Amino acid sequence: MTDIIATLAPQLEHLEKEPYYHPIGDEVALFEAAYARRLPVLLKGPTGCGKTRFVEYMAWRLKRPLATVACHDDLTTADLIGRYLIVGDETVWVDGPLTAAVRAGAICYLDEIVEARKDTTVVIHPLADSRRLLAVDKRGELLSAPDDFMLVISYNPGYQSVLKEIKPSTRQRFVALDFDYPEPAVEAAIVAREGGVDADTARRLVKLAELTRNLKGAGLDEGASTRLLVHAGQLIGAGVAPATACTAAVARALSDDPDMTGSLDDLVHAVF
Amino acid sequence: MAPGREERPGGGGTRRLSAASLEERLDEVLFAAQSRRTTTDLARNLADLPRVQQDMVLHWTEVATQTYAEVAWLLPKLAPRAVGLLDAEHFGTWVLSALDAYDRVGAREAMQTLRAVEAYAASLERVAVAVDFGQEEMRLSRLLQGLSGRPLGLRAGVSAWTDTETLYLPARMDLLPTADENRRLYKATTALLWAQTRHGTFGSADLDLESALSRFPDRERALEWLAVLEAVRLEAVIADELPGLAAEIQALRGPWPDALMPLVPRLHRPDATLADSLALLEHCADTEAPALPHCGRLDPAAALAVRSERIARDIQVLRKALAVMKAAGCMKPGGDEEPLVTAQGAGDAPAQVKIEGDLQALPPEGRAAARSLVQDLGEIPPECLVPAGPGLYDPEARPRQAEEKDEPVPPPACDYRYDEWDYHRHAYRKLWCHLYEHEVREGDSNYVPEVKQRYAGLIAQIRRRFEALRGETRMLGRQPDGEEIDVDAQVEARSDRKSGVEPSSRLFCRRVRHDRSLAAMFMVDMSGSTRGWINDAEREALVMLCEALESLGDAYAIYGFSGWTRTRCDIYRIKDFGQAYDERVKQRIAAIEAKDYTRMGVAVRHLTAILLQQPARHRLLITLSDGRPDDFGDEYRGQYGIEDTRRALQEAHAQGVRGYCVTLDRHGADYLRHMYGPAGYTVLDDVKKLPLKVADIYRRLAT
């Protein structure tokens, strides 16, 4: 019985090994200060620029377990807080990731919060201000978050869609950290380290990213992210020819439009 | 079919036609009997061709007869020669080109075209390898955009050159033997021209190209040489950043011509500049310049004119940006002396300026201007870092102070400022309109009840109709998962289990909402021209709408707009999205009154911004109006206002807001179509119909 519940309950991630993260500005100090003052944090930035990795790194650094929720438009309050399940002959309460994180004093990371339904995001409001409370209505429970609990949310302000905006009432509860793609030299170091490629290849991959980022708004919604560069680097490390690796990991990943992928191929071939 | 027997032409057979049956067939096609000519020779001519080609010739002869008989007579004569040169497809295009020439020019031209079959075949070979600029334009312009630097235009021209703002490429590229190579040549030429603008071919702050060139007696030859030398130098620059592209260029151009070999090492040094090219030019300007396929030509006169104009413009923009920062309080108020401003930023991207020791980020247009200056001059000249004074020439504004003198003195600070579209200039006037948001003071509390009484029957009807449209939340039982346990299913499962039946696992309820998710903004014209009947009709219409929308449950807001010149655009809040349709809203509807003018664009922009804050899937901006955009004393009256409003509606559309207009202006059809699009407006011919119609119009729009 307890075994079943254990498998149903959300798993908190305990990071034993230091995740690789290259600080870009003062985000680590800011995050630590926010943690010390029990303030929730909002991470803004384009996709694949290192937001999730940063949270993992900070969880490791602060020695807190981490509960990550990838938000989607069907995410209900119950998905965050918990629900009754029927196991065998009884109803059993199972905590959702948010409740579990509050109980354990963990860091709860809601990734791409704008994807979640608006009525779901409001449940974090009492947790995200000075009250630091989580109401578990179905159990009639009111949890007070321990000092080492921290709420982190992220979103990508670059989305064109007008529907995907974060409500001011949500946004204004958070300390906001801006993320962007790092400076070329730093990004090259990251790509070299994570992608396992030499410095010259990393430099070229970053150059390619720069070229594609210049195309943003001209048919591309986003330029190549650091993550895509790392993928390309890993393929190159596995023995794939650089141009082929970039075509697969960058050009094809950015667009389906044949004209656009043709142009992206041109850029790939300009660099490799 | 018996062997040896001849087939009828066109019968679909495979056997060769004999001269006799060809003759018979040609007579038929060419109406030979009437023209008293004989087809015997023609038939003999075709007799040796394979059947497929015979059929082809007969077919095209028949086609040609329809246009011009002489062409048709000539065709079988030339056919044996043509089939040796052309395949079936091009045989057809050859005939068609002759018929086309007949249509365009006349019989002579048609016959000539047909006779020149060898020339046609030769041109085909070139056509097969030629690449048109049009085919490549999209790709090249994306490549150009990907390469960093100032935005560059791309256009077809006679030869390849650049004026530093537009790259001109030949309309057709057929220098190289294959299409693929010609395509690459386009790319290589584009890259080289880009590098010319990006890496200082047209001089820098301390190197004037024109005076350097004046030393050479034969300017044409010097320019040819310089283009080549720069191509060598820039290839190394490209190779540093874009090795793949450089390799491609290298493959296209082949090894350097002998004349260049001794010069290459100096030009390929990492610190080589235009000065090195000019120094080498001294030694070689009296010989013939070698040819490189991709190097294009240089036109320093045109390029330098464009360049100096741009530099002047960039300096103004930068100084203006600094002035705005100063005015915005980024710079400390102090004595008369100019604040110390120094540019910060590594290499070619100064994004910040240091003002009295504080780092300040430049606004985007200032940053672009700074970047462009660095690209042109290699540095930002110190005189640019002085903020513009109040009397500075403003490239954004035309002289129009005289008109504006009559304007009322603007109140101290406005709530919002919006850009306005100037169609003359094809650009925005930045922060042109000053917008004030007012609360409408409550009016007569009896007004709405009176209207409701008067239209009681209609309102009841509207409510019923709209209630039927309302979306509802439903609870779905017996789901595999959901927010709650389905007690019925649970009880059933238990009894199933007791009686030994496999219980169902669908034990949950799930809430499903049929969400309309629609937000509507009503923008009510409160200009002076609505005084009287129209104003009454607008207010009554709003009462109807509120009743309808209350029963529907859509989010809606009502704002009025009016104004008096660009410095006083007024928005009157009657009902906010968050507000309930309560006593105060009703009294405000009663208090809507005619005010001043109709500067519509700014109202559309402001209300769109409010509408966009609504978390709805569909957003509607509905204007109730009585006429065209209009404002006091400036050019907003007329086309300017229409174009600005149209632009504002386009901006709204791009952000997912659908505009709709209900108007009483019977002459509105001409401009409304232009502003809102063909399906974006309704013209009511009678004011009194507005209250009756508006709910219906909304229903049509929102369901």
Instruction: Reply yes or no on whether the pLDDT at B344 is more than 60.
Output: no
Co-location of A54 and A155 in the same domain? yes
Say yes or no: B146 contacts chain A, CB-CB below 8 A.
Answer: yes
Co-location of A231 and A115 in the same domain? no
Alpha helical stretches, state H, B199-253: 209-213, 219-241, 243-253
Euclidean distance between CA atoms B573 and B558, whole angstroms: 7
pLDDT tens string B242-279: 888 999 999 888 888 888 888 889 889 888 889 888 88
Residue whose token pair is 């070329």: A184
Range from A71-75, B24-28, B338-342 carrying the lowest mean pLDDT: B338-342
Query: What domain range includes position B217?
Result: 136-298
Q: CB B46: neighbour CB atoms within 10 A? A: 25
pTM value surpassing 0.90: no
pLDDT tens string B619-652: 888 888 877 787 776 677 778 888 888 899 888 8
Q: Do B243 and A204 touch (CB under 8 A)?
A: yes
Q: Do A263 and B242 touch (CB under 8 A)?
A: no
pLDDT greater at residue B124 or residue B519: B519
User: What average pLDDT does the structure give for chain A?
Assistant: 87
Q: Do B139 and A266 touch (CB under 8 A)?
A: yes
Say yes or no: A83 contacts chain B, CB-CB below 8 A.
Answer: yes
Co-location of A52 and A120 in the same domain? yes
| Residue ending a domain, choose from A142, A159, A178 | A178
| Residue ending a domain, choose from B243, B274, B298 | B298
Mean pLDDT of B542-567: 84
Q: For a pLDDT cut of 90, what percent of chain B falls above it?
A: 5
Q: In what order do the strands lie in the sheet with A66-70?
A: A66-70, A107-111, A150-155, A41-44, A175-178
Say yes or no: A268 contacts chain B, CB-CB below 8 A.
Answer: yes
Co-location of A174 and A195 in the same domain? no
| Residue ending a domain, choose from A129, A161, A178 | A178
User: What average pLDDT does the structure give for chain B?
Assistant: 79
- Does residue B9 lie within any of the structural domains? no
Q: Do B619 and A162 touch (CB under 8 A)?
A: yes
Q: Do B612 and A218 touch (CB under 8 A)?
A: no
Euclidean distance between CA atoms A106 and B433, whole angstroms: 50
Say yes or no: A125 contacts chain B, CB-CB below 8 A.
Answer: no
Which chain B residue's Cα is nearest to A272?
A: B244
Phi, psi at B660, each rounded to 5°? -145, 145
Scanning A214-253 for CB atoms below 8 A from B yields 214-215, 218-219, 243
Co-location of A77 and A56 in the same domain? yes
Co-location of B158 and B288 in the same domain? yes
| Most confident segment among B14-18, B319-323, B467-471 | B14-18
Scanning B501-520 for CB atoms below 8 A from A yields 507
Q: Do B245 and A263 touch (CB under 8 A)?
A: no
Position A12 scores a pLDDT of 86
Position B155 scores a pLDDT of 83
Co-location of B498 and B373 in the same domain? no
- Does residue B567 lie within any of the structural domains? yes
Position B337 scores a pLDDT of 42
What is the domain-level CATH number for residue A56?
3.40.50.300
Number of domains in chain B: 5
Position A5 scores a pLDDT of 64
Position A161 scores a pLDDT of 40
Co-location of B154 and B254 in the same domain? yes
Chain B residues inside the 8 Å CB shell of A86 = 485, 490, 507
Question: Distance, in angstroms, between B401 CA and closest chain A CA?
Answer: 37
| Residue ending a domain, choose from B129, B154, B189 | B129
pLDDT band for position B519 (50/70/90)? confident
Instruction: Reply yes or no on whether the pLDDT at B30 is more than 70.
Output: yes
Q: Do B143 and A167 touch (CB under 8 A)?
A: no
Q: For a pLDDT cut of 70, what percent of chain B falls above it?
A: 84
Position B208 scores a pLDDT of 85
Euclidean distance between CA atoms A226 and A48, whole angstroms: 6
Which chain B residue's Cα is nearest to A259?
A: B139
pLDDT greater at residue B330 or residue B20: B20
* Residues contacting A114, CB < 8 A, separation 6+: A71, A155, A156, A159, A164, A165, A166
Position B258 scores a pLDDT of 86
| Residue ending a domain, choose from B129, B145, B167 | B129
Q: Do A263 and B143 touch (CB under 8 A)?
A: yes
Instruction: Reply yes or no on whether the pLDDT at B489 is more than 70.
Output: yes
Query: What domain range includes position A135?
Result: 2-178
Position A218 scores a pLDDT of 56
| Most confident segment among A57-61, B59-63, B199-203 | A57-61
Euclidean distance between CA atoms B345 and B348, whole angstroms: 8
Considering CB atoms only, which of A163, A243, A259 is closest to B617? A163
Scanning A42-81 for CB atoms below 8 A from B yields 76-78
Question: Distance, in angstroms, between B476 CA and closest chain A CA?
Answer: 15
Number of domains in chain A: 2
Say yes or no: B137 contacts chain A, CB-CB below 8 A.
Answer: no
Question: Distance, in angstroms, between B655 CA and closest chain A CA?
Answer: 7
3-state secondary structure of B477: strand
Which chain A residue's Cα is nearest to B242?
A: A271
Co-location of B562 and B648 in the same domain? yes
- Does residue B67 lie within any of the structural domains? yes
